[in-house]
Structure 1
């Protein structure tokens, strides 16, 4: 590359709230002479999960410890492999205030909203400890019952995060610089996948919700994965949205080892929510054993 890394990514400004600088990235990209992504014989995909401000240390409402260093390592990996990285797909959480995992949706017997990180179970609602606002208790009970019956994560009341139209919902600025530098140099449009807009369910993974009566499945993402020879996954948080995305993808392709074995987790480009560290690593190891995925440091992967 002609352009030095530090002209694209200023590591001092990762998770600082500083704006991206796309015009400068496009000007820098004009100096590069790299073949278009359309000519790649081996097609590689980076699946970047929720690299958004609200998950960043220092500035995020649902900050993930380690996220700043994750972004630094991820952008360095993208830079080193830019000439061989065919496509980047980014998932973006996109929520409203009135979502089942936000406090505004719930009241206790005294009319108080739950505190962040409160766990609400089926029994809590059926016993009247919590009720859903706007008469949606029956719908909430159905949702909670399905979560428990299917062994899904318990309903957690998260801090308000990634509210549509807010700065917290935006991609982190230095990652965005690298994303669009790659886009301009390789002449390929990044793929942005919005998730989590259904107010009545949680959607950790990029493919489908935790429970959804309509049974929505994002086949466009699955077909993009099928179309690439190697898929690399990074992002936040490894314990929740990264893990759920990986599980959903692997379960869909469970009978095709030729696809599941193409997937690599860039383990040093993701971090878990505090308290889930050991559990997350165990679950990743189980996926490696069952599906043949690879788990590597970004420094170990050269495309």
Structure 2
């Protein structure tokens, strides 16, 4: 079924939002605050603006798709996967290259993983899109950090009740051997795992839109990777249908240059940029 106006929300999850303390619940086993694992500066305000946009414009939005970063603790992009030299722990925000692994600077804790890890890093670096990064453990399935920002979740709930349509949820990242920034395809697809390969079903659904609005976190990584894959693979080859809601996305700290380059490149390819307050559906 074709839906003329669609909203694609990429990873609007607690772990990516700089939630104020009052928005952080306590962990029942310890009483400690459940703080976001990988907060993006400005993301909380982004998601509040997005929730307002859904509330105001919901009658004109025909379909909403939400992607969810979905990891287990054991993951190639998490610290517990790695050891440094002499078995030291690897800190979050550590970039790792194939050359460093071959030199013994870093190594997977499970020795049998080494050949696959090197093949993955070689393929990733050959693409030239990203250097492999060790992130804090984030968006663990079943944990609070994996949940959708409360304001966005509430707005989507009201939209579903009023429009009598379900939100489509797309999980990405469950394969622990490859990074999965894009909602459409893992950075290095696994030939044995269809979930890491190009999601042609999602692509076709999004391509049916006359207007495809995109928001989410973070603009330097998952929003960027998804949009780039959309522009590359859209069957209609009509990137002018895509609108990036620039006030409903922010970059990871330290990746502001990549954020700016992404927006400039997409605009040059025909994608539209707009603030949510400028959109009247």
User: TM-score with structure 1 length normalisation?
Assistant: 0.83
**Counterpart among 161, 174, 183 of residue 138 in structure 2:** 161
Q: How many residues align?
A: 261
> Is 2:172 the partner of 1:211?
no
* Partner residue in 2 for 1:113: 89
- Mapped partners of 1:281, 1:207: distance in 2: 22
- Mapped partners of 2:185, 2:57: distance in 1: 30
* Partner residue in 1 for 2:27: none
Question: Deviation of residue 42 (structure 1)?
Answer: 6.8
* Partner residue in 1 for 2:230: 249
Deviations 1:160-219 (A, max 9, x none): 000110010011112101011001100111000000111100000100011123161111
Structure 2 unaligned spans of 5+: 20-34
Contact map agreement 2:15 2:36 (CA 8 A) in 1: yes
Q: What pairs with 1:183-202 in structure 2 (closer than 5 Å)?
A: 183-202=160-179
User: TM-score with structure 2 length normalisation?
Assistant: 0.90
Structure 1 unaligned spans of 5+: 1-37
* Partner residue in 1 for 2:278: 300
Deviations 1:232-288 (A, max 9, x none): 0000001100000000111002x744x311100000000001122233122211111
Q: What pairs with 1:93-242 in structure 2 (closer than 5 Å)?
A: 93-134=69-110, 135-214=112-191, 216-242=197-223
Misfit runs of 4+, over 4 Å: none
Question: Could you say what the CA RMSD is over the residues aligned between the two structures, in angstroms?
Answer: 1.5
* Partner residue in 1 for 2:248: 269
Largest Rg, 1 or 2: 1
Question: Deviation of residue 289 (structure 1)?
Answer: 1.0
- Mapped partners of 2:256, 2:106: distance in 1: 30
> Is 2:39 the partner of 1:60?
no
